[in-house]
Amino acid sequence: MNSYLARQPVLNRDKDTIGYELLFRDGPNNSFPDVDEEHATHRLLTDNFLSTGHSDVASGKKAFINFPHGSLINRIPLLFPKKSFIIEILETCQPDDNLLAAVMELYQAGYTLALDDFNPTPEWNRFIPFVHIIKFDLRATPLAKAGFFIRRLKEKGSKITFLAEKVETYEEFIAASEAGFDLFQGYFFSRPEIVRKKALEPSALTTLRLYKEISRVEVNFDKIEKIIATDVTLSYKLLRHVNNMTYTRAKPISSFKQALIYLGEEKLRRFVTFVATSHAVENKPESLYFLSLQRARFSEQLSQHLQIPIDSNEAFLTGLFSLLDSILDQPIEALIDQLPLDETVQHALINRRGYLGGILRLAVAHDQADWQTIKRLCQALKLEESVVAETYMESLKWVTVFEQKLPSKP
Which of 241, 264, 280 is the last residue in one of the domains? Answer: 280
Do residues 111 and 237 share a domain?
A: no
Can you name the residues that pair with 10 across neighbouring β-strands?
Answer: 19, 185
State the sign of the Cα–Cα–Cα–Cα dihedral 377, 381, 386, 391: negative
Task: Assess whether pLDDT exceeds 90 at residue 161.
Answer: yes
Do residues 229 and 316 share a domain?
A: no
pLDDT score at 407: 45
State the sign of the Cα–Cα–Cα–Cα dihedral 148, 151, 157, 160: positive
**Structural domain contains residue 192:** no
**Structural domain contains residue 193:** no
Indicate the pLDDT class of residue 199, thresholds 50, 70 and 90.
very low
Do residues 18 and 124 share a domain?
A: yes
Do residues 101 and 157 share a domain?
A: yes
Do residues 133 and 239 share a domain?
A: no
Task: Tell me the pLDDT tens digit for each residue of 233-273.
Answer: 666 666 666 666 655 555 666 666 677 677 777 677 766 76
Which of 265, 280, 295 is the last residue in one of the domains? Answer: 280
pTM score, two decimals? 0.60
Count up the domains in the chain and report the number: 3
**Structural domain contains residue 48:** yes
Do residues 296 and 310 share a domain?
A: yes
Do residues 308 and 257 share a domain?
A: no
Looking up residue 10, the CATH number of its domain turns out to be 3.20.20.450
Phi-psi region at 60: left, alpha or beta (left = phi > 0; alpha = psi -120 to 50): left
Do residues 144 and 272 share a domain?
A: no
**Structural domain contains residue 191:** no
Which of 221, 251, 280 is the last residue in one of the domains? Answer: 280
* Domain limits for position 168: 3-185
Indicate the pLDDT class of residue 286, thresholds 50, 70 and 90.
low
pLDDT score at 29: 41
Do residues 241 and 378 share a domain?
A: no
**Structural domain contains residue 25:** yes
**Structural domain contains residue 249:** yes
Do residues 163 and 207 share a domain?
A: no
**Structural domain contains residue 194:** no
Task: Assess whether pLDDT exceeds 90 at residue 314.
Answer: no
Do residues 42 and 106 share a domain?
A: yes
Please tell me which residue, 42 or 61, carries the higher pLDDT value: 61
Give me the mean pLDDT over the 170-186 stretch. Answer: 92
CA distances from 74 to 52, 69, 86 (A): 21, 9, 17
Q: Which residues of 321-333 are buried (b: 16+ CB within 10 A; e: fewer)?
A: bbbbbbbbbbebe
**Structural domain contains residue 196:** no
Do residues 270 and 178 share a domain?
A: no
Compute the radius of gyration of the chain from its Cα atoms.
23
